[in-house]
Amino acid sequence: MRSPRTIRIATRSSPLALWQANAVKQQLESTGKKCELVLIESTGDVQLTQPIYALGITGVFTKQLDTALVNNQADIAVHSLKDVPTQLAENMFLSAVLERGAYEDVVLVKDKEILNSTEATIATSSLRRRAQWLKKYPKHKTVPIRGNVQTRLRKFEEAKDIDVVVFAKAGLERLNLLTENTITLDWMLPAAAQGIIGIVCRDDDAEMKEICSSINHRESFIAGFVERQFLKTLLGGCSVPISALAEISDNELEFRGSIHAYDGSKYFEVHRMMLLTEWETSGKESAEKILEQAGAKELLEEIKNKKWNDESALD
């Protein structure tokens, strides 16, 4: 008799990535499956001297894990879904997601009064966060910050010239790192699929697709699909300040999305209520509504053509 398959789970080695991989492992094991983790280093973990958008490549946190799947070193890969390119690599398949965690962004501050100040320095390597922040606080200064959650926290605590650092709330929650100096940014729209853990397998692995589907959280899958379709239609990635949020209530789907100029000076937004049954096309249609607005296509072209090959571009 054939022995049960041990599911090899590829993951990055950062504490947050391991937390997420173990969450998937626990859910699969609760269905009677045997699992083991396979630790892989990603480009985004190794290259810490430049902001992600300056690397000029997509999938900096996923490429090596995809390679592990292709080379049969692993059966599935676990990612923060917001890091997964909207165009998956050849023979890769998004087989399932876990129930979404918090989608909001938060800040840690050294002094809560700093948000009322006209002068402050904000640390973030996300162009989306940077753009929305500068829209609200045009006189503030932003600086890039890299590394895993713990590394960025340490850099923030040690830097005398940084007042605020921005994180995804889900990451801090999962690592039990929320503090009394954490403030939720209820005005900031998140990245597409922020707070969602995604599971990727080989497209030709029918058995693994079926196994993963047993732990798929359908509402979170739909929300992530809609947000990523919005991003894909606008041809966005890590280097484009595009935001998206789909929320499901009963039979309705509420969608909010936006595009911002890098400095926050220009922006375009869309807010739509739809029937949940329309989810398969709602992201694309919402992106088309944005592009119908005068000046939106020009801003998108301006964003896409921006080069990040010198430090002055970050000022």
Residues catalogued as catalytic:
83
Helix (H, G, I), strand (E, B) or coil at 218: helix
Instruction: Report the residue count for the chain.
Output: 315
In 159-278, which ranges are continuous DSSP H helix? 169-174, 206-213, 218-233
- A 10 A CB-CB count for 37 gives 18
Question: What strand order describes the sheet that includes 242-249?
Answer: 242-249, 252-260, 267-275
Question: What strand order describes the sheet that includes 182-184?
Answer: 141-143, 121-123, 164-168, 105-109, 182-184
- Rounded CA separation 181/200 (Å): 35
Q: Are 60 and 41 in contact (CB under 8 A)?
A: no
As to burial, measured by CB atoms within 10 angstroms (0-12 exposed, 13-18 middle, 19+ buried), residue 12 is buried
- Rounded CA separation 32/113 (Å): 51
Q: Are 80 and 20 in contact (CB under 8 A)?
A: yes
Q: Are 42 and 62 in contact (CB under 8 A)?
A: yes
- Rounded CA separation 11/27 (Å): 16
